Chains A and B, each alone.
Chain A
Amino acid sequence: ACGGGEESSGDNGGDGQTYNWKFVTEEVEGQVQYEYAQEFAKRMNEKSDGAVNIDVYEFGGLGSETNQVEQLQSGTVEMAVMSPGFTGNMVKEGQIFALQFLFPESVEKTQNILNDSEALNTDLRELYEEHSISPLSFWSEGAMQWTASKEISEPADFENFKMRTQTSPLILKSYEAYGADPTPMSWSELYTALDRGTVEGQENPIFFIGDASFNEVQDYMTMSNHNNYVAMTTVNTDWYAGLDEEMKTMVDETVTEMQDWVFEEQKKQNEEYLETIKNDTENPTEIVELSDEQREAFKEKAEPVRDFYRSEVSTVDGKVLDKLIEEINAAE
């Protein structure tokens, strides 16, 4: 068997039909996305009495994140976990998750909004479906934190601070708003660059910071929760539309029940890595907590960036954002 080429889906072949799907992720074994896909595959297999077999692909073999998006669009793979950041150059609205201090500080509250939001699950989904991508759910892999070579607790600390960021104009704007010098830097050079001070800080969820050992070369970690690393469970739109009703229901149900599962999973991983980072006495990292006033100070600087999103990024004049803000306000 070569793992492919078998009939996958489309027309309903009645009893005894087997389904072989491919599910690609942007992370490797042990990390949240990959574990999610594995658990999803396991549940689908059990529910279908072994009729559904899902091969989970970790990051690496199938190319870059952008490549994986294209593979989902072309139906080369049926399912994918993707973060909207990597599709932000196609579905512009998806950059919404890069906005800082938009969602509540609590990841749990954020996850509830992600679960229920019509702006995301209906409006944003429609925009994705124009590109053959159907996001079935949105979930947090954890809140993003800042690590730095010095203490960051108020916007002034970002003054003349070389912050490693992605290259998208929205993210650059977000850090310029604090007075930082956003510095694009390739991932593979980041560890060395932080070690030598070529750049002074970076942002990621805690599990990733710990996994990539960035705490070894950084002295401070600010629990900023400035936004969330949001991932989407996506399927190829045409493929999904072609599933028989029974199978579609099974997929939808599993997607829904996985929301709680992945919340617990990311919570566990982020808590465990936080302990690891705290307990690493060889490479001590001071954990900086923000007071309400300090958070408010950052939020004040971050809010005007929403206008940049509305005018320069959004293709629908920020309608998705405005609706989402209403939903967030209602939830808080």
Chain B
Amino acid sequence: MKVFKAVDKIILKIEEFILSYAVIIIALMVVGKALSRALFSYSPPFADEVSQIAIVVATFMGISYAARKGRHISMSAFYDLAPFKVRKFLSILIPFGTAAVLFVLAYYSSLYVQDVYESGRVTSALEMPAYYLYIFIPIGFLLGGIQFLRNMWINITNRDEVYLGTDVKDYNDEDTNDLEGTHL
């Protein structure tokens, strides 16, 4: 159990690190390119490509982090109206179904990465192997799937409450809206 928690903590730290620095890198690249062009009439050709890699990385590596924080967007209209027991049932079914779909997506996207690997395609500016970029897609789906399984598990083990993510309880059962706390 202790090992498990330690691993979880390490993964969390890695996810946080990747999300933070992907955003900071995008900012650096976009600003850097504009400043460099204005001041030195030089446009670093790699800037756009690095930003685009960072956005793909942030998007897919963010899947599990957003799942942990219960921040994936869903159309909760009917769910919000449902009684506790229904929500409890759904809180087990939905993460399970979501995890299943994400694992299927991880499988097919890893096939895609393999395909790009075999094609030998490189990126246009940096001329680095293109699969470096795409490999974050299956990893993101895989970690996301694992996190949704954990979201399911916490709802199975805790009978009295509904969790939207391992770190967040259902806002429908909260007296006050302290959701803001999760943002920032």
Asked if chains A and B are in direct contact (CB within 8 A), the reply is: yes
Chain A residues packing against B (C-beta within 8 Å): 66, 70, 73-74, 88-90, 131, 160, 162, 166-169, 172, 181-184, 186
Q: Is the CB of A167 within 8 A of B122?
A: no
Residue B114 interfacial (CB < 8 Å):
no
| Across the A-B interface, the 5 shortest Cβ-Cβ residue pairs | A167-B125, A183-B43, A90-B121, A181-B41, A89-B122
Residue interface mask B119-159, A partner, CB < 8 A = 1? 11111110100100000000000000000000000000000
Residues in A neighbouring B43, C-beta threshold 8 A: 162, 181-184
Q: Is the CB of B124 within 8 A of A168?
A: yes
* A181-B41, A182-B43, A184-B125 known; A131-B115 Cβ under 8 A: no
Residues in A neighbouring B127, C-beta threshold 8 A: 89, 169
* A89-B127, A162-B37 known; A169-B115 Cβ under 8 A: no
Residues in B neighbouring A172, C-beta threshold 8 A: 45
- Interface residue tally for chain B (C-beta within 8 Å): 18
A-B contact pairs, 27 of them (CB 8 A): A70-B115, A74-B115, A89-B121, A89-B122, A89-B124, A89-B127, A90-B119, A90-B120, A90-B121, A160-B41, A162-B37, A162-B41, A167-B45, A167-B48, A167-B124, A167-B125, A169-B125, A169-B127, A181-B41, A181-B42, A182-B43, A183-B43, A184-B43, A184-B45, A184-B48, A184-B125, A186-B48
Write the chain B residue with the least CB distance to A198.
B37
Residues in A neighbouring B124, C-beta threshold 8 A: 88-89, 166-168
Write the chain B residue with the least CB distance to A86.
B124
Q: Is the CB of A89 within 8 A of B130?
A: yes
Residues in A neighbouring B115, C-beta threshold 8 A: 70, 74
Residues in A neighbouring B123, C-beta threshold 8 A: 89
State the Cβ distance, A319 to closest chain B Cβ, in Å.
19
Residues in B neighbouring A131, C-beta threshold 8 A: 119
Name 5 extra pairs, CB < 8 A, besides A73-B119, A184-B43, A186-B48: A89-B122, A89-B123, A167-B45, A167-B49, A181-B42
Residues in B neighbouring A90, C-beta threshold 8 A: 119-122
Q: In the bound complex, how far is the Cα of B48 from the Cα of A162, in angstroms?
A: 17
Q: In the bound complex, how far is the Cα of B47 from the Cα of A182, in angstroms?
A: 13
Q: In the bound complex, how far is the Cα of B49 from the Cα of A162, in angstroms?
A: 19
State the Cβ distance, B36 to closest chain A Cβ, in Å.
10
A-facing residues in B9-45 (Cβ within 8 Å): 37, 41-43, 45
State the Cβ distance, B23 to closest chain A Cβ, in Å.
20
Write the chain A residue with the least CB distance to B37.
A183
Q: In the bound complex, how far is the Cα of B121 from the Cα of A131, in angstroms?
A: 10
State the Cβ distance, B124 to closest chain A Cβ, in Å.
5
State the Cβ distance, A164 to closest chain B Cβ, in Å.
10
Write the chain A residue with the least CB distance to B40.
A181
Residues in B neighbouring A70, C-beta threshold 8 A: 115, 119
Q: Is the CB of B37 within 8 A of A168?
A: no
Of A66, A131, A182, A184, most B-chain CB atoms within 10 Å: A184
State the Cβ distance, B56 to closest chain A Cβ, in Å.
13
Write the chain A residue with the least CB distance to B49.
A167
Q: In the bound complex, how far is the Cα of B37 from the Cα of A150, in angstroms?
A: 19
